[in-house]
Structures are given as C-alpha cells and as structure tokens.
Amino acid sequence: MNHLIAPSILAADFGNLQRDIEMLNQSEADWIHVDVMDGLFVPNISFGFPVTSVVYKHATKPLDVHLMIVDPDRYLKGFKDAGAANITVHFEACPNLHRTIQVIKELGCKAGVALNPHTPVAMLEDIITDLDLVLIMSVNPGFGGQHFIENTYKKVKEIRELADQHNPHLHIEVDGGVDKSNAAKLVSAGANVLVAGSAVFSSANQMAMISGLKHPEKLLQL
Ligand code: DX5
Ligand code: ZN
C-alpha cells in the first residue's frame, strides 16, 4: 500500500484557513494533521477546539489530531467532538497510557502514541498491540520548520520491526522536518504516514509538493 501524507495546518495561513483546507481537499493529502500545543508540554501555544472544529467543518479528509499537551485525558472527548478521527497523545505526558488509549478507542477514534526524540521505541513493547498508530517525532515538538533529526531512521526501522512481529496494521507516522530530501528514505525505513508542515505550505506549488511527497519518484521534478 502507498504511504499516506498528512499536511500539518500549523504551517497554513491562518488568515486564509478555509482556502488552505480547500487546497488540501483537492490535493493528494490523505489526512489533515492538527497540532495542538498547550505552552506546558511544549514551549509554544497553537490552538484548541474552535480552530479544530473549523478545520473539521471545511475538510473532506480525516483529522489526525496530535496532542502536545499535559494531561490529555481531560480533553479527549472535546477533540473527538471537535472532529478528530485519530487522536495521538505523547508517551511522555501519560502516566496511565494504557487507560488513555482505551478511552480514545471507546470514543471511536484511532489511538496513537507519539515518542519524543529521546524516548526509545522499546518503551512501547508492552502496548504495541493496543495501538493504531505510533508517531515518531523527528524534531523536538513545539514548532514547525525545524531541522530533521537523523536518528529517526533508526527508530522507524525499530518500530517497523516491532510492528511486523506484533501489529502489522500499525500506522507508523513521522513528524517534523519531513521534506523531499528525506521522504523516500523514511518510507523505505518503514514509515507509512508522513507529516509535512513547512515543506508543503512554504512551497510555491503546494499541491505538487503533496503529490511529490506521496510519489517520491516525482520529487526529482520539483
Ligand atoms: C511539531 C509538530 C509538527 C509540525 C511539523 O511540533 O508536531 O507536526 O507542524 O512541521 P514541519 O513539517 O514544518 O517540521
Ligand atoms: Zn504534529
């Protein structure tokens, strides 16, 4: 199966959010990645329910909500109600991760866990069969436009190995600094969902960039 592309609206033009979502609807994007930051788990604040609901209202594609917040349990239902199809919480923010994952699934959403760059993949060994998605952070969470961390390839291979053994349908998503220089290599390492914020929205031809990330053989032409 072809890998999925999830452009992050964190890098969209917020003054023209509806226009940018309509572009994503027309594009080869598969999911719309929604980055929620609380100023505590990460040093930055992005947006919450009202913006997520507006994205949902205009989007024709599933919302992939990435919660970079402390104590996400308090807000799971709120993000489901705002339109989330997938809810990803951070391993580092969840002392009772198993319970959090069960709640996300009971809400009817796909359940994901994100790992910060310093968190080893092995931390997920005992929960991997319960997950729909693992998100490997390839930058420190908090900001778009950062430099890709090379150790990510190793982590993607490790989680792919674990998934092949215990959960072959797992989505393996990479988030941060993804662009045309690393997309193909990430997919060959075993990733099957690529998040891209600035690579898409700072491109002169956003739809062509999405298409290029989806079909890496086209990237040479961009
Ligand atoms: C970073 C966010 C990312 C961000 C990616 O904390 O989780 O989803 O939007 O942006 P780029 O692709 O610009 O690194
Ligand atoms: Zn993200």
Average pLDDT over residues 10-35: 98
pLDDT at 219: 62
End-to-end Cα distance, the chain: 24
Q: Is 105 helix (H, G, I), strand (E, B) or coil?
A: helix
pTM beyond 0.95: the answer is yes
**Over 70: is that where the pLDDT of 220 sits?**
no
pLDDT at 217: 74
Label residue 1 by pLDDT band (50, 70, 90).
Answer: low
**Over 60: is that where the pLDDT of 210 sits?**
yes
Average pLDDT over residues 102-116: 98
Q: What is the mean pLDDT of the chain?
A: 97
- To test the pocket of ligand 1, the residue of 33, 175, 179, 181 to mutate (highest count of ligand atoms within 8 Å of its CB) is 175
Q: Positive or negative CA dihedral for 88, 7, 199, 217? A: positive
pLDDT at 216: 80
Label residue 139 by pLDDT band (50, 70, 90).
Answer: very high
Tens-place pLDDT, residues 47-73? 999 999 999 999 999 999 999 999 999
Which range (71-75, 97-101, 150-154, 218-222) has the least confidence? 218-222
Residues with beta carbon inside 6 Å of ligand 1?
Answer: 8, 10-11, 33, 35, 66, 139, 141-146, 175-178, 195-199
Ligand nearest to C-alpha 147:
1
C-alpha 69 chain-centroid distance: 14
Distance (Å, rounded) from C-alpha 113 to C-alpha 131?
8
Average pLDDT over residues 76-89: 99
Q: What angle do CA 56, 20, 24 make, to 5 degrees?
A: 70
Is the CB of residue 88 less than 8 Å from the CB of residue 67?
Answer: yes
**Over 60: is that where the pLDDT of 221 sits?**
no
Give the Å distance between the CA of 24 and the centre of ligand 1. Answer: 16
Average pLDDT over residues 5-10: 98
Give Cβ neighbours of residue 160 (< 8 Å, ≥ 6 apart): 172, 189, 190, 191
